[in-house]
Amino acid sequence: MIRWDWIGRNLDDIAESLAEHLTLTVIAVLVGFALSFAASLLIHRRRWLYAPFTSVSGFLYTIPSLALFAFLVPFTGLSLLTAEIGLVSYTLLILIRNTVAGLDGVPAEVREAADGMGYSRSQRLWRVELPLALPVIVAGLRIATVTTIGLVMVTALIGQGGLGQLMLRGFNRQFPTMIYVGFVLSVALAVIADAALLLAQRALTPWSRGGVR
Amino acid sequence: MRLNRMAAFGASVLVLLSACTTGGGGAQAPAGTTPVQVPPVATDTISPGATQTDPGAPTPSSPAAGSPAASGSPSGGGASGPTLASTLVLGAPPECPERPFCAVGLRKKYGIEFKEIRALDPGGPLTVAAVEKGQVDVGLLFTSDPAIAIKGFVLLEDDKQLQLSDNLIPVIRREVLDASPEIADLINPWMAKLTQEELTELNRRVSIDQEAPADVVEEWLAENGLQQAQGEAPGQGKRVVVGSTNFYEQEILGEIFAQVLEANAYDVDRRFNLGNREIVFPALQAGEIDLLAEYIATALEFVNKGKGEASADPAATAQKFRQRLEPLRLTALDYAPATDQNGFVVTQETARKYDLSKLSDLARPAP
């Protein structure tokens, strides 16, 4: 059923697909997080921005990837950029909602205590609110990362796709080994990335150790 | 057997893919966070909503004179009410409902509309398995698909000539051909050699024997006398990007172009397994790919947005196709004798049950 000899002969190809998958995911999550973080801080200051930001990111989330890529290809080609525009826009909704929810979850008493201790607004944000919001923000990052690892596959439509490309090629050629390899590696990637983010969050929030995650 | 298991697995991959194409799918927020709204996942079935009230074919009591559908009314004369097709499910690629040689043509020419069109792969293992297992009654495959003979499917005769000259034809960017006119002389002889038998055999080796397209093509080219250019090769220092959609026959054609060019010292970049025409045509126009195999009639009707200019004459259709490609800064080389048309297949059991041998049989009144 599994052609181990094919795997042996194509380790380079497989490693390349895995690396491409990882690159597509990391760029998408980092850029998506940077944009969402900035947006969330804006929303935190100017509450009325919440509705427009979430409806725009919600709208982006519902655009079918084929339509998005068909629209983008004349401008940005079959490139990494086209793939990332799609992937980044699909992370925004999750990340903005979670970051804002995290900041909102900081108890009012804590905020008042910080004010009482003479913290400025930005001191309060960086030293009190963000650390307390971290578990929820990381929870958003974990969903976004795992979702993106799955979504990278659709960028195979434009010749990117990492492991998705491997699986699609296997499917077209009716060569199951390629599908199994792509499947196992992408699941492993998702599990490892999720665990790594969880560990990073634990390390960054020592005070919550032993409590709820 | 192997094909079946493979297809079942592939099915889940494709379901995942199609769920993903709406953007998200199963994003679940862990407890304690604001739940993320999950967008509606695109349904993978397209029901021609009005099937029951408007069976496509006009009924005798309401003579729709002058309507384009009138010419496609069932030949059965006394057909009133739903057709046999309106009780059956068609398995076809997702773009079928909009395509002139698929649902649109079936309605206009044959007056048939299926109960449901289930979106499957373009003539691939998923469709073969769905037909074989009875998940769809009628499947859209391609006539050069070796699986039709191997699975013993009945290819319904296209008795009203809906499918036109779908010979394989290389589409190339004007700019590339102007800069390297010799590409035509290099590729054209190989298109001439690509007969129906040769194409079906190449397809069989890839889709049934599971050989790699690159290896199959390399052997085929060597057997047919491909020479590696010696000394002053025309392609020295020139780069050509060869594309293909995600269908094994396309990859085979892509390999033929790529290897012929490589034998003449071109630097070839392969962009294979791309999405359908909605992706590859913009990519051709944007100069992201230079050369791609197409099917004359279907591609012409895609480019001219279904004006009905394709005919059963490949030369005339190809000429029209080149005219239509002109404003897109594209052109086409010589077409191959081999064609690959949409073919509607049923299992022998289904054929017996409904007494089917040709497409117009589907326009008979429902039992």
**Residue the block writes with tokens 């009716």:** A174
Going B312 to B316 to B321 to B324, the CA torsion angle's sign is negative
Locate the chain B residue with the closest alpha carbon to A87.
B23
Tell whether A50 is covered by a domain: yes
Tokens describing residue A45: 């200051």
Tell whether A212 is covered by a domain: no
Tell whether A72 is covered by a domain: yes
Tell whether A174 is covered by a domain: yes
For B75, residues 6+ apart whose C-beta sits below 8 A from its C-beta are B360, B363
Q: What average pLDDT does the segment B97-115 reach?
A: 92
The answer on pLDDT for B34 being more than 60 is no
Q: CA B185, CA A190: separation in Å to the nearest integer?
A: 49
Q: Which helix (H) or strand (E) holds B342?
A: strand B342-346
Of the listed ranges A155-164, A204-213, B170-179, the least confidently predicted one is: A204-213
Beta bridge partners, B116, equal B89
Per-residue pLDDT, A82: 94
**Minimal CA–CA distance to B145: which of B160, B132, B159?**
B132
> Are A65 and B21 an interchain contact pair (Cβ–Cβ within 8 Å)?
yes
Q: Yes or no: say if A71 and A65 are a contact pair by the CB < 8 Å rule.
A: no
Beta bridge partners, B154, equal B346
Tell whether A171 is covered by a domain: yes
Of the listed ranges A1-15, A122-136, B334-348, the least confidently predicted one is: A1-15
The domain in which residue A168 lies consists of 4-205
CB crowding B344-366: b at 16 or more within 10 Å, else e: bbbbeebbeebebeebbbbbbee
- Which CATH number is A91's domain given? 1.10.3720.10
Per-residue pLDDT, A6: 87
Of the listed ranges A44-58, B79-93, B319-333, the least confidently predicted one is: B79-93
Of the listed ranges A32-36, A161-165, B73-77, B164-168, the least confidently predicted one is: B73-77
Domains detected in chain B = 2-13+41-163+342-363 (3.40.190.120), 168-332 (3.10.105.10)
Q: Which of B22, B274, B289 sits opposite A157 (nearest CB)?
A: B274
**Amino acid identity, position A2:** I
Tell whether A179 is covered by a domain: yes
Q: Is the ipTM of this complex over 0.85?
A: no
Tell whether A210 is covered by a domain: no
Exposure on the CB side of residue A178, measured as CA atoms within 13 A: 21
Tell whether A213 is covered by a domain: no
Per-chain mean pLDDT for chain B: 81
Rounded to 5 degrees, φ, ψ at B24 are -125, -90
Q: What average pLDDT does the segment A150-169 reach?
A: 90
Q: CA B72, CA B362: separation in Å to the nearest integer?
A: 12
Q: Yes or no: say if A82 and A27 are a contact pair by the CB < 8 Å rule.
A: no
The answer on pLDDT for B3 being more than 50 is no
Instruction: Give chain A's domain count.
Output: 1
Q: What average pLDDT does the segment B248-267 reach?
A: 95
Q: Yes or no: say if A212 and B32 are a contact pair by the CB < 8 Å rule.
A: yes
The answer on pLDDT for A28 being more than 60 is yes
> Are A64 and B275 an interchain contact pair (Cβ–Cβ within 8 Å)?
no
A66–B contact, CB cutoff 8 A: yes
The answer on pLDDT for B95 being more than 60 is yes
For A190, residues 6+ apart whose C-beta sits below 8 A from its C-beta are A145, A146, A149, A150
Per-residue pLDDT, B39: 40
User: A65-109: per-residue pLDDT in tens?
Assistant: 888 998 999 899 899 999 999 999 999 999 999 999 999 999 999
Count chain A–chain B contacts defined by CB atoms under 8 A.
Answer: 155
